[in-house]
Amino acid sequence: MEWQTDWGLRGRMVLTMLLLGVLYLVFIGILSLYFTSALPILLVMGAFMGAQFLFSDKLALKSMGAREVEESEYPDLYRSIRRLSQQADLPMPTVAVADTSVPNAFAAGRSRKTATVCVTTGLLSALDEDELDGVLAHELAHVKNRDVAVMTIASFLSTIAFLIVRWGWLFGGRNRRGGGVVVAIVVSLVVWVVSFLLIRALSRYREFAADRGGALITGDPAALASALATIDGRMDRVPDEDLRSQAEMNAFFVIPITRGFVGKFARTHPSTERRIERLQTLQRELSGR
């Protein structure tokens, strides 16, 4: 299938990134008022961003208890990912599996050449071949769109703001006695809250784009829609302990965990119903050609 750009979604993503950029420029400008030199800010932020960019994929896999697997262990999974990667014009990613009953999948890696596609054993047992292809294609669309790198960069200064709020007592500078630390903490709190909301809006837009891209890779939007419905339904049967242990990976999963206050407040994905509606519309568009 021909890869198509959804310009409406692209426009909303660009607007959100611009708003984040303006927010972060203001944030850096205000913080610079409370340091005698900008060098400490640049060094700390540079080191933190470099570590986050280089090791975010390994941290994601580790937090899920996932491991890289060989083709001899999961030949069918390898076969599907290799075929879909060729259809998407992507290099073959590393394949990983997490041994958990939570039916889900995610992509990690800072570039197309270093990408990893991870699935859970719960997902492999829950879906048929076409549905699994739909989910794998969705993850490959994230890789093709460079979503992992985009979201890592977008969330970087939000993380810095959160650390300042949490560890603000470490901050000093020439205005310590004049309340400079308090100002820096308050500004950081505002930046973190606003960027929290903007980043989650960006994440939701990118999920719609990955749904569309994955459906175009397979040429079968209905299969991905069916997979989303199946996964969403299976979530109700997963023990709460398992869901809590996986909740920190919400931004990466193909279907997020939304049980409880935290899951609903930190929604990184559109509702399954809205995603299925869009896929059904795409199915009708493709069928009418």
44 in helix, strand or coil?
helix
The dihedral over CA atoms of 183, 186, 189, 190, expressed in degrees to the nearest 10, equals -100
Q: Encoding tokens for residue 250?
A: 């919400």
Q: Read off the tokens for 246.
A: 């996986």
Which three-class secondary structure state does DSSP give residue 58?
A: helix
Strand partners, 97: 67, 119
Half-sphere exposure of 254 (CA within 13 A, CB side): 37
DSSP label at 250?
Answer: T
139 among known catalytic residues: yes
Choice among 139, 207, 248, 277 that is catalytic:
139
Q: Three-state DSSP class for 111?
A: coil
Contact residues for 279 (Cβ-Cβ < 8 A; gap 6+): 211, 215, 221, 222, 224, 225, 228
Note whether 149 and 52 are within 8 A (CB).
no
Contact 277, 213 (CB under 8 A): no
Catalytic residues: 139
